[in-house]
Chains A and B, each alone.
Chain A
Amino acid sequence: MKITPAIIRKWSMLGQRGTAFGIAMPDIASRKDNVKLLTADLSLLSGMERYATDYPGKFLNVGIAEQNMIGIAAGLAMEGDCVFASTYASFIAVRSLEHVRQHLSYLNCNVKIIGSSAGVVAAKSGVSHWATEDIAFMRALPNIKVFSPADGLEVIKVMEYAADNDGPVYIRLSGGLNCPAVYKEDYNFEAGKMIKLSDKGKDVAVIATGLMVSESMKAVEMLSEKGINCSLFDMHTIKPIDKDTLSEIFKDYGLIVTVEEHNVIGGMGSAVAEFKAGFANAPRQIFIGFNDCFANAGSQHYIWENTGLTADKIAVRIETEYKR
């Protein structure tokens, strides 16, 4: 399909879940025979109606039973299907975790786990519906690739990649409707390769993932006005981590800042730090994310304000750390 700036603007209104199930899945089902999409009673919320109507034989609702869903997905995959299984990230990555470990990770089944509403977008539903540990859980499982796309277009790129490459993946969908477009026009996506989005200087390398790419982009602009020159990288693939680009970053920059809508323990920042630990004389790293805490419920923006994840707060933190 031809991806124009106008289409990207339209997709950004759909949000990440909207492009995953309203755009990417129908396209994947139209070109692949062995596709299945499984939901745990969230087809309406997830925007799967068009898909379910057009591809009833490739759709299965298992009811509110996330563990059973992952087991069924594994059974289908063992017999040759390419299975996408989705519900809230908090349920699919936590309640189903043992099924994911045994059946998808260990048995290396061709199942794509799509966790929606990751981070704290389900703000007022409370902590039960937030997912700020899912990257940590999924990253610890062998064979599973972990993706955290920055916007609706990148979601489509990741979904198409997942459909065309065997093996289990976890795709972390963030935000609700109206996901800000990081990519205003079509671009080359390569799984496992970070994308440099802003190149203002070598003072600070800001590495962000998910919705924090867009927030960090604004932060980098603010810092630029203050004479702090940052580069911004979109780490859409958290596992396998992009060792080549990171090696260059460790050589070239004075400070590394990782930004994620996730606990600082076990998340993207941890993945960067684990790799960085092997380098002598590598720069200092600042972890921006949930500081091993939950937060008082409220709107997503309110929670971000209180945990330091808005563009303003990210800019202030980077400025403080840079000047230390």
Chain B
Amino acid sequence: MSYSWNETDVEALTAMSKRMRLDAMDMALASGNNGSHLGGSLSCIEILAVLYGKVLSYDVNAPLKPDRDRFIPSKNHCVLAHIPALAEAGFIDKSEILEFQKDGGRLTGYPMRKEIGLEYSGGSLGMAISVGIGIALKMKEQGFDNKVYILMGDGELNEGSIWEAFMSAAHFGLDNLVAIIDRNHLSYDGDTEEVMGIEPLTDKLASFNWHVSTCDGHDVSSLLKAFSDDKKGSPHIIIADTIKGKGVSFIENRREWHHHRLSQAEYVQAVNEINNE
């Protein structure tokens, strides 16, 4: 990797994560009775902060620059983390984030709008990595040294075509492809190992010829180290151990908060907890 980091970066990314978590609460409150995907957004806040704050190469003034890094959210329901990250990066104005569910809005419904950093429109799980492979193949063909980053959930690893994709990425030697698994241990119905077990995950991915790194997905130093741990010739996968709903006590590790309404009182408590962290 072409970046280095120091304590100042760690502090800045930790502070960025905190701001994003507060933004996520504002968005959740704004969604009213519709509710929003709180659990799986809060689990990947630090991952997105590290990506947009340090790892990704992009230019908000030239969003279509051909050799930019690409970020593809496969777990596209992570909007409460992704949209705050885009605001932190400067792709959108901070005042716009509360419009993420507005009828006809440009942020509504996981749209693809490359001009504001939304590189892909998905939502149905397990499909984005194949698109990322196509993009990575074309980047290599053009001789770019950029990378394609794909954020995946752990539950979506139940989907079959993901394993077709894992097989092919290694076969094609795509060392410009980085997948991050937000290993928050919960899918909608409960513990991934009870619903449909995916372990031993490191062994499975290594046996598919991926270079596997593991890290603490809520520790920015650990994430920075994992992102820099790449290997020539192999696609890189980072298993980021996380807590679904991280940062808010009554949301953490609670499956019903996968998608849930946030009341005014809950909002106040959540904001207090995040501020006092």
Contact = CB atoms under 8 A, between A and B. Distances in A.
B165 A71 contact: yes
Given A65-B161, A102-B122, A107-B112, A71 B137 contact: no
A209 to B, nearest CB: 31
Interface in B126-146: 127-139, 141
A68 B112 contact: no
Given A63-B167, A65-B161, A98-B124, A79 B135 contact: yes
Interface in B17-53: none
A83 B160 CA distance: 24
Contacts of B130: 67-72, 74-75, 99
A57 B141 CA distance: 9
A71 B131 contact: yes
B167 A60 contact: no
B138 A76 contact: yes
B202 interface: no
Contacts of B171: 63
B124 A102 contact: yes
Contacts of A65: 161, 164, 167-168
Contact of B127 (A57, A81, A102): A102
A319 B130 CA distance: 52
B209 interface: no
Interface string A73-99: 111111111000000000000000011
A62 interface: yes
A106 interface: yes
B121 interface: yes
Contacts of B138: 75-76, 79-81
Nearest to A64: B164
B69 to A, nearest CB: 13
Nearest to A65: B164
Contact of B137 (A76, A80, A102, A107): A76
Contacts of A103: 127, 131
A77 B133 CA distance: 12
Contacts of B136: 75
B164 A75 contact: no
B164 to A, nearest CB: 4
B141 A71 contact: no
B137 A75 contact: yes
Chain A contact residues: helix, strand, loop or mixed? helix
Contacts of A79: 134-135, 138-139
Interface residues of A, number: 26
B121 A62 contact: no
Given A67-B161, A106-B121, A72 B137 contact: yes
Given A76-B137, A99-B130, A103-B131, A68 B168 contact: yes
A77 B131 CA distance: 9
Contact of B168 (A63, A98, A106, A107): A63
Given A71-B127, A106-B121, A77 B134 contact: yes
A103 B135 CA distance: 13
Contact of A71 (B112, B121, B161, B167): B161
Contacts of A77: 134
A318 B247 CA distance: 72
Contacts of B129: 71
B161 A75 contact: no
Interface string A116-145: 000000000000000000000000000000
Contacts of B134: 71-79
Contacts of A81: 138
Contacts of A80: 138
Interface string A201-218: 000000000000000000
B135 A78 contact: yes
Given A72-B134, A77-B134, A99 B127 contact: yes
A75 B168 contact: no
A103 B130 CA distance: 10
Interface in A100-118: 102-103, 106-107
Given A79-B138, A107-B121, A68 B132 contact: no
Interface in B143-179: 160-161, 164-165, 167-168, 171
Interface string A148-160: 0000000000000
From A62, A68, A69, A103, residue with most partner B Cβ within 10 Å: A68
Contact of A75 (B112, B124, B135, B167): B135
Nearest to A77: B134
Contacts of A98: 124, 127
Given A60-B137, A62-B168, A78 B121 contact: no
Contact of B164 (A68, A102, A106): A68
Given A65-B167, A81-B138, A106-B121, A75 B132 contact: yes
From B122, B128, B129, B131, residue with most partner A Cβ within 10 Å: B131
10 contacts: A60-B137, A63-B168, A63-B171, A68-B133, A74-B131, A76-B134, A79-B139, A98-B124, A99-B127, A102-B127
Interface of B: 112, 121-122, 124, 127-139, 141, 160-161, 164-165, 167-168, 171
Interface of A: 57, 60, 62-63, 65, 67-81, 98-99, 102-103, 106-107
Closest 3 CB pairs of A and B: A75-B134, A71-B130, A65-B164
Given A63-B164, A70-B130, A98-B124, 12 more contacts: A57-B141, A65-B167, A68-B168, A73-B134, A74-B130, A75-B132, A75-B133, A76-B134, A76-B135, A78-B131, A80-B138, A106-B121
